[in-house]
Amino acid sequence: MATIELVNLTKRYRQGPHTITALDGVDLRIESGDFVSIVGRSGSGKTTLLDLTGLLLRPSSGTVLLDGAETAGLSDGRRADLRGRRLGFIFQEYNLLPALNVLENVTLACRYAGLDRREGRQRARQLLDLVGLAERLNHGPDQLSGGQQQRVAIARALVNRPALVLADEPTGAVDTQTADELLGLMRRLNREEGVTFVVVTHDLDLAGRTDRMVRLQDGVVVSDERLNAA
């Protein structure tokens, strides 16, 4: 597992004659085994922070350290390789491929992790069993509920045994009961499997059940609180 450290991280965008600062000198350290929520109003920089941590964006200044190794200066190819092998992503809209069944959607991610086909299918089956979908392997995404689709997305995020899973509003498209079940699943994976989670959310009830809540405001960390999560 890995430690992720953001050092004086800044991200600016040009918008016509103006410069927009999405993040402004953020320092944040995420230890292996953490379960962290990132909260803040719309436009506070939450998703930008997640994208920089996941090596999807390059910072304007500062760096992201993975186990102490600087990543900002790496080539696009090397950054893509790190994403495929060491990071997992969960999105609000699931992003499952409609032409593939459940097992195929999860197995597809194995290509980026360097797993061979047989090993990848075995790992995918184990994870789908773990998230309660062992009986749905041959179903298409359109045959699943929103909560079931997100469970597939969670299995897909874990198939490469990532050092860190980054989740962008993972419960935003489901009802309250399903959101509670999904959070419980992620909590169990964190505690029993040692998976490190960073979850961006607008839901303060959900954030309050993580181990640590980081609050952003106008691109700046204004609080970083350890919680007594349930």
Confidence class for position 229, pLDDT limits 50, 70, 90: low
DSSP-assigned letters across all residues of 73-97: TS-HHHHHHHHHHHEEEEETT----
- For residues 51 and 80, give the distance between their C-alpha atoms in angstroms, rounded to a whole number: 13
Residue 73, judged by CB atoms within 10 A of its CB (0-12, 13-18, 19+), counts as: exposed
Q: What is the pLDDT, as a whole number, of residue 194?
A: 85
Look-up: residue for tokens 């405001």?
217
User: What are the sequence ranges of the domains in the chain?
Assistant: 33-57+85-226
Average pLDDT value over all residues in the chain: 89
Q: 94: alpha, beta or left, given left = phi > 0 and alpha = psi -120 to 50?
A: left
Bridging pattern class, strands 220-226 and 197-200: unpaired
The arithmetic mean of pLDDT across residues 225-230, rounded, is 76
β-partners of residue 74 are none
Q: Is the dihedral of CA 131, 135, 138, 140 positive or negative?
A: negative
Span 12-30, average pLDDT: 92
Q: What angle do CA 91, 199, 49 make, to 5 degrees?
A: 85
Q: In a 3-state reduction of DSSP, which class is residue 3?
A: coil
User: How many angstroms separate the CA atoms of 29 and 7, rounded?
Assistant: 8
CATH, range 33-57+85-226: 3.40.50.300
Question: pLDDT tens, 26-53?
Answer: 999 999 999 999 999 988 999 999 999 9
